[in-house]
Amino acid sequence: MQYLDLTLSTPEENVALDEALLDEAEATAAPAEVLRLWEPHDMAVVVGRGSRVPAEVDVAACRADGVSIVRRTSGGAAIVSGRGCLMYAVVLSYQKRPRLRSLDAAHRFVLDTLIGGLDQFSPGIQRQGTSDLVLGSRKFSGNSLRCKRTHFLYHGTLLYDFPLSAISRYLAQPPREPDYRQGRPHESFVTNLPAAAADLRESLVSAWQAQTQLVDWPRGKVAELVAEKYGREDWNFRH
């Protein structure tokens, strides 16, 4: 597996790069797998492909604080990202891992791989809901996926030193909740994983056996996706 540690300048570019890596893998004849790690420079809200922005996001608070709202290509509900939230993405090959065409198997495989790398920081990490990772009953990682013909993208958040109050400021109570949440508000539902960013990076690279640096990332495709999709309100705020 190849490895890319790259944070671009804007939320739109960063969300676009995850999709661009998936598209690039789809266009390659041989199976291509990559792990990307990045950490946002600025606070941003990233909503799911099917999210209704007014139902999930406090748009007025975001605009007052200059917080971008960007729609990703994968499912799930809105998240808040920023410094103290390490973001990861893995592009995986169905040719190499045919059993992962089952969504349940894909969720289990990726989340269990993450747990294998993160358990050193706090033993007892568990999967909950469809695609959450928790300490005790509190969530520190939310994840989602996007499937295509030969590869799929699985990406998510790892809160480690994030100002948790920002979640309540910018997000409403989600319209869909996993049973284990039990109606809890954000501030009593989320937590930070006790780890340093450098150690998190090292553990994930090891867990995924990402041994080769990816040098030539798809710059042109990122620019195209920002121009045609992620930089446009008709994509980010669509119903």
**Mean pLDDT of each 10-residue bin along the chain, 239 residues long:** 97 98 93 96 96 97 98 96 98 97 98 97 95 97 97 98 97 93 95 97 97 93 98 93
**Residue spans per domain, the chain:** 2-236
- Phi-psi category of residue 178: left, alpha or beta, with phi > 0 → left and psi -120 to 50 → alpha: beta
127-162, pLDDT tens digit by residue?
A: 999 999 999 999 999 999 999 999 999 999 999 999
The CATH number corresponding to 2-236 among 1.10.10.60, 1.20.1250.20, 3.30.200.20, 3.30.930.10 equals: 3.30.930.10
pLDDT at residue 239 in the model: 75
Average pLDDT score, the chain: 96
Identify the burial level of 231 via C-beta atoms within 10 angstroms of its C-beta, where 0-12 means exposed, 13-18 middle and 19 or more buried.
Answer: middle
pLDDT at residue 188 in the model: 95
* pTM of the predicted structure, to 2 decimals: 0.95
Identify the burial level of 81 via C-beta atoms within 10 angstroms of its C-beta, where 0-12 means exposed, 13-18 middle and 19 or more buried.
Answer: buried
93-132, pLDDT tens digit by residue?
A: 999 999 999 999 999 999 999 999 999 999 999 999 999 9
Distances (CA, A) of 143 to 74, 137, 218: 9, 16, 23
